[in-house]
């Protein structure tokens, strides 16, 4: 009898508290979720194979901004993977040079070119005049072709960091025309045929300036146009997925191109060729992706910081670059610094 009483009185002291069980369960759930996320990232970054683009989408790819940087590198990578190319660029000489490179890299590749200055001013606010004629030239170039892929790579930004009110009208208007109007109108020129045949892919090149950081001061219009590209891509992904058209926004951070303000060697800044291999391997998967694995690592670490810290850092970087350019040009900052 005494032993029974003692045993009963000892049960509450030895039982595991419910709060402890709950905390352990929450901790295990967090660990499992973190491990699953990490393993999924490893697969995306290193193990997931690229799709058979020609068989899945079509024989031809349209690449804008194909004469330099990412666009040129992506065009060469697509040619090596068996696609024929329609290259869009504003410089006939550079287009001819890229054509020669393509034929050396992939002798069986057929190449068409369209000379089109996507920044050319139009007759109205939505890109009339030269813009309409350029888009018509692209539509004519792809007529009758099995176009399976559009890479909307062409992009424009400021020549240097500047406050919003300092950016010349001609500069920010050109940024809008290239990044928003031209990208939208070229997509409209090719998407209907893709949807009609039930297959195709549109790759819009976004920017970390609109996704990775909460704000990108002193490049405001550029970052805003890339936010448009990101949202347009996600909406079109939902609209056309059931029509067999994959729409994707690829998010690069800094790549060693002439548009990049960061110069010099860095393990986080790939060459255009290195980036292009990763970008092509991601085609046809998520509606938004960061193709280059080191860029995704940078995004992860940026996500750990408060928005206020990232905003202050980006503001200081922008102001420093602006002031450096002012010094080089011998201009006054009019009280802004």
Say how far apart CA 253 and CA 298 lie, in whole Å: 9
Strand partners, 149: 61, 201
Query: In this structure, what token pair is assigned to residue 248?
Result: 């994707």
Neighbours of 59 (CB within 10 A): 16
Neighbours of 155 (CB within 10 A): 26
Say how far apart CA 333 and CA 335 lie, in whole Å: 6
Complete DSSP assignment for 199-232: -EEEEEE--GGGTTSS--TT-HHHHHHHHHHHHH
Concerning whether 285 is annotated as a catalytic residue, the answer is no
Query: In this structure, what token pair is assigned to residue 86?
Result: 């329609």
Q: Which helix (H) or strand (E) holds 90?
A: none
330 three-class SS: coil
Q: Are strands 288-289 and 245-250 parallel, antiparallel or unpaired?
A: parallel
Helices (H), 50-129: 53-56, 69-80, 92-105
Q: Pick the catalytic residue: 222, 228, 237, 292?
A: 222
Complete DSSP assignment for 117-181: -TT---SSTT--THHHHHHHHHHHHHTTS-EEEEEE------SS---GGGS-HHHHHHHHIIIII
Closest listed residue to residue 196, CA positions, set 141, 146, 132 = 146
Backbone angles phi, psi at 248, to 5 degrees: -140, 140
Q: Calculate the alpha carbon distances from 334 to 12, 105, 221 in Å.
A: 74, 52, 21
Catalytic machinery residues:
222
């Amino acid at each position: 009898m005494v032993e029974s009483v003692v045993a009963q009185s000892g049960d509450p002291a030895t039982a595991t508290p419910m709060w402890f069980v709950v905390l352990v369960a929450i901790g295990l759930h967090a660990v499992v979720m973190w491990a699953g996320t990490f393993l999924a990232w490893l697969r995306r970054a290193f193990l997931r194979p690229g799709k058979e683009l020609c068989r899945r989408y079509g024989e031809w790819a349209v690449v804008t901004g194909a004469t330099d940087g990412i666009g040129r590198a992506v065009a060469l990578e697509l040619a090596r993977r068996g696609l024929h190319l329609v290259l869009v660029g504003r410089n006939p000489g550079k287009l001819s040079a890229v054509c020669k490179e393509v034929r050396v890299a992939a002798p069986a590749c057929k190449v068409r070119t369209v000379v089109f200055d996507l920044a050319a001013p139009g007759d109205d606010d939505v890109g009339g005049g030269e813009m309409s004629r350029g888009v018509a030239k692209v539509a004519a170039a792809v007529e009758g072709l099995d176009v399976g892929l559009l890479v909307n790579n062409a992009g424009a930004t400021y020549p240097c960091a500047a406050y919003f009110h300092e950016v010349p009208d001609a500069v920010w208007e050109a940024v809008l025309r290239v990044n928003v109007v031209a990208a939208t109108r070229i997509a409209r020129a090719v998407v209907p045929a893709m949807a009609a045949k039930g297959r195709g892919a549109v790759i819009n090149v976004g920017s970390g300036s609109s996704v990775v950081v909460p704000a990108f001061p002193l490049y405001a219009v550029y970052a805003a146009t890339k936010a448009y590209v990101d949202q347009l891509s996600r909406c079109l992904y939902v609209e056309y997925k059931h029509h067999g058209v994959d729409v994707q926004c690829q998010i690069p951070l800094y790549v060693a191109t002439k548009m990049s303000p960061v110069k010099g060697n860095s393990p986080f800044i790939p060459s255009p060729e290195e980036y292009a291999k990763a970008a092509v391997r991601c085609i046809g998967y998520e509606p938004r992706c960061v193709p280059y694995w080191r860029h995704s690592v940078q995004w992860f670490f940026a996500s750990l910081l408060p928005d206020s810290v990232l905003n202050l850092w980006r503001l200081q970087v922008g102001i420093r670059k602006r002031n450096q350019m002012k010094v080089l040009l011998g201009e006054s900052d009019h009280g802004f610094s």
